[in-house]
């Protein structure tokens, strides 16, 4: 009986194209860049940017097809008897469009959900799906507790996501719940270049934008300047 159940489960997974040999790579890496702020006075940086940086770059720049910000932190997740501490990617903007990845089941997260009062959505890594839900093909619509909040599972990422191997989740970042200052540099910002735009082109545009920001934004520290680099690892 146990073998029959296992065969049925494998058949269901195969039918929807979810076998662990799925490969993933960040499509057209030469088009994906990371944006961050660096101190013009000291050269100090931690490859991060502020929410104000992200908003300014997103609203005024024409170099990027898609742009997103995210931050990572550890969180406690549970589902039934399963409990584990995992890495959480809290994303905002066109994150999944930038990295050009599609879930093997379900969907990704949309920016509009950041302002939605419905039950928070969560996307699982393939490994976490296996551990917490035994690769249940009917995973969509089930719930998982994330730091005590009940979240609705809406998707599962491919089996290899080109990042350090550990269990992880993706949730939407809501600016409404952000407690930090808008100029605190605690986010990673990534973007996909427009066709025909080079890293140097994008750098020149952001440098020019920075020179204008101190006039429009009284709180903007003009000693910090934007940097654009090809993304090496997510």
The percentage of the chain sitting over the pLDDT mark of 90, rounded to a whole number, equals 52
Q: What is the mean pLDDT of residues 53-58?
A: 91
Q: Distance of CA 70 to CAs 22, 110, 160, Å?
A: 25, 13, 20
Q: 32 pLDDT exceeds 50?
A: yes
Question: What does the longest C-alpha to C-alpha distance in the chain come to?
Answer: 72
pLDDT band, residue 12 (cuts 50/70/90)? very low
Q: Distance of CA 3 to CAs 8, 9, 135, 187, 215, Å?
A: 9, 10, 16, 47, 69
CB 39 within 8 A of CB 223: yes
Q: 39: which strand partners?
A: 224
The lowest-confidence range among 22-36, 171-185, 218-232 is 22-36
CA-based nearest residue to 189, from 87, 71, 21, 13:
71
Whole-number pLDDT of residue 213: 83
On the 0-12 / 13-18 / 19+ scale of CB atoms within 10 A, 93 is buried
pLDDT band, residue 231 (cuts 50/70/90)? confident
CB 167 within 8 A of CB 84: yes
> The pTM is what?
0.81
pLDDT band, residue 102 (cuts 50/70/90)? confident
Whole-number pLDDT of residue 6: 43
Q: 25 pLDDT exceeds 50?
A: no
Q: What is the mean pLDDT of residues 92-114?
A: 88
Whole-number pLDDT of residue 211: 83
Strand, helix or coil for residue 40: coil
d(Cα 104, Cα 121) in Å, to the nearest integer?
A: 16
């Amino acid at each position: 009986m146990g073998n029959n159940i296992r065969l049925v489960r494998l058949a269901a997974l195969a039918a929807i194209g979810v076998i662990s040999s799925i490969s993933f790579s960040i499509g057209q890496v030469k088009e994906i860049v990371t944006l961050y702020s660096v101190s013009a006075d000291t050269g100090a940086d931690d490859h991060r940017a502020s929410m104000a940086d992200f908003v300014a770059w997103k609203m005024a720049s024409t170099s990027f097809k898609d742009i997103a910000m995210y931050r990572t932190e550890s969180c406690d997740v549970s589902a039934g008897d399963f409990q584990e501490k995992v890495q959480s990617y809290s994303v905002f903007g066109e994150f999944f469009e930038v990295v050009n990845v599609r879930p093997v089941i379900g969907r990704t997260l949309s920016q509009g959900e950041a302002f939605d009062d419905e039950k928070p959505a969560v996307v699982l890594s393939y490994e976490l799906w296996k551990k917490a839900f035994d690769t249940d093909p009917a995973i969509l619509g089930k719930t998982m507790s994330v730091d005590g909040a009940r979240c609705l599972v809406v998707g599962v990422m491919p089996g290899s996501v080109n990042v350090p191997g550990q269990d992880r989740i993706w949730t939407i970042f809501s600016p409404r719940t952000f407690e930090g200052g808008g100029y605190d540099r605690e986010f990673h910002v990534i973007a996909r270049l427009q066709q025909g735009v080079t890293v140097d082109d994008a750098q020149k545009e952001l440098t020019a934008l920075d020179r204008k920001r101190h006039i429009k934004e009284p709180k903007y520290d003009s000693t910090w300047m934007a940097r654009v680099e090809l993304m090496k690892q997510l």
